[in-house]
Structure 1
């Protein structure tokens, strides 16, 4: 399970909703969607770069808007038979059918490629592209995540349409590789060249149903990403003439833009000030949502630097919060009252053990006990201090999110009551996810991890081998620098174990161990919500692992 970062908020009103609303009082605008064949999507996050292998390519909106729409993938993951009850993998149009698994102890996967599959320049997509992508992930510096790929021994290319992947160590989630995490890249254009330089600011090629409008010029930084149909796509061709992902990072302005008809589609970070309008209905709009989300929002603690390099301080922080009360205060009127107690998201809830964190409830006596045991005492200002130095830390999150500002203020007040000084610092999403997180330049952050496949896989964010270091070229997704004895072994087993019962057991043990060490603090699951014009037709629905736009080539616009 590859994970991407997204600063999001939750709205339980939508958790079990799938409805169309029409209400009086709207300005009656039908948006731009059907007027000229252009679909405008309001995006609350701009990517730092479009080199999906690099750490700067780790934002969810970048993946949703440009990765899954322009790069070929071996398998798609989606809800089974239109149900949100379970997610399954199916071969994408790139494959000629299901990959085959060789019998025996050694894991060997053979893919047969669709001979009709071509890049946007008409050159065939071949086995060499798989090998190139693998080599780039495993041999470069500044790699976002090597989970699963590090288990591969070799990628053989016996002929242009046959890929044979041999594993040195089994990997249970192999169908997620060469998928929506990175896609597959064109060796004939990138081999022997600087991939990052050619991709980070946009790229000219496509192996999906869409391509960047004008190549690199399709990304106007600070403004939008624009897509047009890839005329050489061999699958179902897109009929919408153009899709513009317009960046509106201020969440209040985002919703106002939809109401004013300036954008046609939201995949939003819902805000409390939106709720009355949404509950009352939006003229000409459809609202869909699901609670089977792939996201977990948490307070991510840097375990390698003060004050959170101290386990007792981390636990004291956890005991400082009534997480249920925080969630209820924010969303109680809408039905969300309970904190999420695992870093495994709802779509893999069978692998989660809530006991790992459910014991962390508000307990100021426990806070005092833990802090005193570490030599801290409260000063006259009510804050914990040691050797004359006050314990103070900063919470970093993204700028422009009104609900995020409220959440930070609630946390700040709770920590003050417990004796901790917390400062609030906001950054652009690209900076937070492209620089601050990978470099470890934080003490506490607030964002959501978003899984890109229906597999458990927290080794990517908690195994010590995935800590970005100078030695590994800054690669890895363990930004919290978590290094807990015994945790690596358990999470590694979750990645390689093919026996479901044992895999669940290992995952639950890992949950208990992360809770015991209070590596970070989970807050809530994040239901995914769609709000879009009724002029947008087709199989429009959330995909918790690939985002809402993965099948946008099947959508149409009607007047």
Structure 2
């Protein structure tokens, strides 16, 4: 199901969704990898600093979630996951790095890896729970909890995303540690069920009650290593260890996430010792601020993220309703020059050659690599499509110029820089591009869903290692009355033969076959050039000298995915 469209609050759920503000972070961070003194170099590996037991940390948090009802529409903020949900709600699958790929792996909630099989046209999934798993009140986590959670998602109102759960026809609980879920049709992303985003909720505490009312302002129960000690709205969230947790216990006595939406102020607080760690979305001044911290700031940059920046062409609007024009456009954009300008100081110099984000690299191909700057090819394509250049050097056809407007986030200096580079490159190739930016609310609330644009510049974010190209490129995802105006194929893309291949990607249970289908889909997309990928956008974690532990960023579960392993450095 398509996700809400915001500029600064990213969704927690396993689909693709546009974000207007993420590139602001990316450009601002490009200078931070080239720091002076002892600042950390570009690294995906993280660090491991020995810790001692006890003590507390204060971490700056840029965003405060609206509520803590994780399956409700109000609980969509990814910061809710970072601060509370990942720390307190057990889930069936975790996402971990295996080799080069972020992969769903069974969590310690499970006694065995869940299994799945087809029974006729239905999919049957069997879960066997770890008998040691208990809630913070000492009550076992049981199959009844899985059933309660699934039916709350499937049957309740104001649920953020029912994808997968809406296929459930029955849930059997033959014993307290076994649940058997039957889906009416195959669901390739079945490992996300009871995983990232929702997890498992305690039926013995919530059944018969208003779940949203109980959870929205925080809750006392936990099935994770931490409990919510307090949530002071507008101020902070404080976590303390869950003494009943059956896994490794936290080293720290307390962690406080203090809300600080102003990035510059947060960095100053970090510099002064108020904050021990940050996960910043920097403004353009952030690079110099982090440089000035020298060895006091330990910085990690993660390139294998779920963030993909692209140029989105409206296939239903002139001039991009012509495949020839779209291809000529692709041969006229020097994507490598743009990427080097924006991300070179991170060590990211090559453009993205796929519409799969780095998080989904196992499903990605490199079919867009053939689109390098080539003025001769662009000219041949335009002439064959009936275009000629006028006296000013711009392409003209039937009295209309090859002119279009680009739309992105107003006031975002990084977007404006990208647009200026594009404007110069395209003018040399005979295209006239003008800039008309707007607010995120206007872009994603009105302009993009209505298809009222020609060229868009924004990011797509994948929040689970599952291929979901259909959310962006399937004809069924074009916003319409049929889908209640909810699709995110804003570009009105209709590539012949693509939809059946995307359906195979969505429903195929064999991963090898799924990868093959994904590659076929990407080739069809690249051959049509319905839009053009630019670059992956990295994540950054900044920690101070007091912080120890294995410190790294999980692109799905966030920078504090293993907070129980953090501690005060020895």
- TM-score, normalised by the number of residues in structure 1: 0.77
- Cross-structure match for 2:60: 41
Q: The residue matched to 1:425 in structure 2 has which SS?
A: coil
1:133 paired residue among 149, 152, 160: 149
Equivalences for 1:212-223 in 2 at 5 Å? 212-214=228-230, 217-220=231-234
Separation (CA, whole Å) in 2 of partners of 1:205 and 1:406? 48
Are positions 1:64 and 2:82 aligned together?
A: yes
Shift of 1:547: 1.7
Q: Which residue of 2 aligns with 1:180?
A: 196
Post-superposition offset of 1:244: 0.7
Residue 113 in structure 1 maps to residue 155 in structure 2: no
Offset at 1:419?
0.4
Which structure's CA Rg is the greater one? 2
Task: Pick from 163, 170, 194 the counterpart of residue 154 of structure 1.
Answer: 170
Secondary structure at the counterpart of residue 40 of structure 1: strand
Paired with 1:224 and 1:95, the residues of 2 have a C-alpha distance of 32
Residue among 534, 550, 554 paired with 2:561: 550
Q: 1:91 to 1:407 in 2, by over 3 A?
A: same
How far did 1:144 drift? 5.1
CA gap of 1:230–1:390, structure 2 versus 1, over 3 A, is farther
Displacement of 1:76: 0.7
Q: Find the aligned partners of 1:537 and 1:491 in 2 and give their Cα distance.
A: 44
Tell me the secondary structure at the aligned position of residue 531 of structure 1.
Answer: strand
CA shift, 1:112, in A, is 1.8
Asked whether 1:78 is paired with 2:96, we answer yes
Q: Offset of 1:307 from its aligned partner?
A: 7.3
Q: What is the rounded CA distance, in whole Å, between the counterparts of 1:302 and 1:53 in structure 2?
A: 33
When residues 236 and 333 of structure 1 are mapped into structure 2, their CA distance, relative to the original with a 3 A threshold, is closer
Do 1:319 and 1:361's aligned partners in 2 also have CA atoms closer than 8 Å? yes
For the residue of structure 1 that corresponds to 2:550, the secondary structure is coil
Deviation at 1:510, TM superposition (A): 0.9
Deviations 1:63-94 (A, max 9, x none): 333432332211111113xxx62334332232
Shift of 1:333: 4.7
Is the 2:42–2:300 contact (alpha carbons within 8 Å) kept by the matching residues of 1?
no
Q: How does 1:17-28 map to 2 (within 5 A)?
A: none
Secondary structure in 2 matching 1:539: strand
Q: 3-state DSSP class of the match of 1:110?
A: strand
The CA distance in 2 between the partners of 1:129 and 1:302, in whole Å, is: 45
Q: Distance in 1 between matches of 2:157 and 2:388?
A: 41
1:163 is aligned, of 179, 184, 187, to: 179
Aligned match of 1:28: none
Residue in 1 that maps onto 2:547: 536
Q: Give the direction of change, closer, same or farther, for the CA distance of 1:55–1:324 in structure 2 (3 Å limit).
A: farther
Structure 1 residues 146 and 437: CA distance shift in structure 2, 3 A: farther
Corresponding pairs, count: 535
Superposed counterparts of 1:423-462, under 5 Å: 423-427=436-440, 431=441, 435=445, 443=453, 445-462=456-473
Instruction: Return the TM-score normalized by structure 2.
Output: 0.75
Compute the displacement of 1:420 (Å). Answer: 1.8
**1:290·1:529 contact (CA, 8 Å) conserved in 2?**
yes
After TM superposition, the structure 1 = structure 2 runs for residues 140-289 of structure 1, keeping only pairs within 5 Å, are 145-149=161-165, 152-187=168-203, 206-214=222-230, 217-220=231-234, 225-230=237-242, 233-238=245-250, 239-248=252-261, 250=263, 252-269=264-281, 282-289=294-301
Contact 1:287–1:532 at 8 Å: present in 2 too?
Answer: yes
Shift of 1:267: 2.8
CA distance in structure 2 between the aligned counterparts of 1:392 and 1:460, rounded to whole angstroms: 25
For the 8 Å contact 2:449–2:488, the answer to whether it is kept is no
SS in 2 for 1:178: coil
Deviation at 1:523, TM superposition (A): 1.3
CA distance in 2, matches of 1:516, 1:343: 13
Tell me how far apart the structure 2 counterparts of residues 293 and 301 of structure 1 sit (CA, whole Å).
23
How much has 1:344 moved relative to structure 2?
A: 1.5
CA deviation vs aligned residue, 1:469-494 (integer Å, no higher than 9, x gap)? 55555656656554434322212222
Q: 1:186: how far off?
A: 4.4
Cα distance in 1 between the residues matched to 2:479 and 2:204:
30
Deviation at 1:369, TM superposition (A): 5.7
Mapping of 1:334-413 within 5 angstroms? 334-356=346-368, 358-359=370-371, 361=373, 363=375, 366=378, 373=385, 393-397=405-409, 402-411=413-422
| Whole-angstrom CA distance in 2 between matches of 1:46 and 1:307 | 42
Q: CA deviation at 1:95?
A: 2.1
Cα displacement string for residues 506-542 of structure 1 (whole angstroms, at most 9, x for unaligned residues): 1111112222333332211233332211312222212
Shift of 1:165: 1.8
5+ residue gaps, structure 2, are: 1-13, 35-40
1:360 shift after superposition: 5.8
